[in-house]
Amino acid sequence: MSSLILFSKQFLRPNHVINGSLKWMPSLTQSVINGIHKRYLFTNEVLGINGYLETRNRISQQFGQLREKFFTRMEEFATSESKMIFTEDLKNIVFMTDNNDQELRLLTDAIKKFHSQNQTLQFGTFVFGPIVMRLLHHLSEWQLALQLFKDPELRGFFSQIKSAVILMNLLLTNGKYDECMDVFDYIHNEITFEIRYPRDCLLLYVAAAYKLNTEEAYNRVLETLKKSREVGAPVSRKTVCLFAGLALNQNQPNTALEVLSLITQSNYITVKNLRLQALSDLDRFDDLFITLRVMLNRDMPSQTNRGELVEETFNRIKAKIESKNDEKLSLEWSQIERGLSEGQFITNTPLKDLLLSPVVLRENLTPNDRQQFERQRGYRNPTIQRNFRREQQQRPQPERRAFNEEF
């Protein structure tokens, strides 16, 4: 019980945007099955990379054959003390750089020169950090992204939560879990954000720890979540489930069950399976059987909730019961086992694939939800903005009301 953390309900502070704008698949839909082999947690749409690519294609078409001449001129500007790199210059570089050493070197030199200039000439308001990270995410240049993010010469250039989220997602995508966790510690200690524990960064941090599955990673996350709870930081359901999964993997079912009790919507397949595994590990068979019977009785008439028990959970419970050599326990289990099998409640999809399924934008967002989502995370997505404006234009507008297109 020494490692048991007593989380309060502040740990899961309500957040209407995350509930209304993001969805984390509660059941085995085809979209999850198609994406379970990918390591990333945020889709390109959520990160704003789709919007970046649209702009990139448009600018590349505008330059056409002049692209090579532009890069040659920018190489001169980046190395000359008498010439400056202007905002439009850096924009074009960031939107046209390809995956080759020469252009990536120019990108680095141009960013450093532009940032140095802006220490004295702070006329521009364009924020480059997230755009650069989207470029490097697109090119899968995780080493350069990490190098630039931590470069002392660029202090303040990447001081946006969205830049950190994109970088951490890039590191997770490339299997750099230690580096992903280190970035979270770096931004917590070296960068001053308005939010001490950014929700999306915390999610990626816990996901990296889950993938590492070491005692050290578990203890780091446990300590971080304790501190985040003390300041009332909001934590997503997905973060809680990943931590519960890590706790179970580290033989800490008490902690797993305690944190899962904060999630009121127990119908999610991940929550349901994690809770059943924790109950099994703790030998709480009465609670376990009640949960399974409720699932059988409630779901039996419907075909929509088949495959709600992963094979890993089923085998874990079965092995635990068999190890007890209790005839009464085995008899009750055999009845439930038959119902699970006949009702097709068991799926062979691994629980870890469900826990690490990508966070995506919901398809049925209202215009206001989309606008609020964009503003809160700062992911400027041209596609979302165009759809928002189109929907607004189709709705009756009050007289003399000017619609502001910039959000």
Is the CB of residue 371 less than 8 Å from the CB of residue 407? yes
> What's the pLDDT tens digit per position in 143-182?
999 999 999 999 999 999 999 999 999 999 999 999 999 9
Confidence of residue 122 (pLDDT cuts 50, 70, 90): low
Residue 23 is inside which H or E element, if any? strand 22-23
Q: How does the average pLDDT of the chain come out, rounded?
A: 82
Of the chain, the end-to-end C-alpha distance in Å amounts to 49
> What mean pLDDT is predicted for residues 386-397?
50
Lowest mean pLDDT among 239-243, 272-276, 295-299: 295-299
Q: What is the pLDDT of residue 203?
A: 96
d(CA 270, CA 355): 7
> What's the pLDDT tens digit per position in 209-268?
999 999 999 999 999 999 998 888 888 999 999 999 999 999 999 999 999 987 888 889
CB pairs under 8 A, 24+ apart, for 29-35? Answer: 31/360, 32/349, 32/353, 32/354, 32/357, 33/349, 35/357, 35/358
d(CA 127, CA 63): 23
> What mean pLDDT is predicted for residues 278-304?
83
Q: What number of CA atoms fall less than 13 Å from residue 134's CA on the CB side?
A: 28
Per the structure block, which two tokens stand in for 93?
A: 């570089």
Q: What is the pLDDT of residue 17?
A: 29
Three-class DSSP category at 213: coil
Domain boundaries, the chain: 17-117+126-196+256-361
Q: What percent of the chain shows pLDDT beyond 90?
A: 64
Q: What is the pLDDT of residue 63?
A: 94
Three-class DSSP category at 39: coil
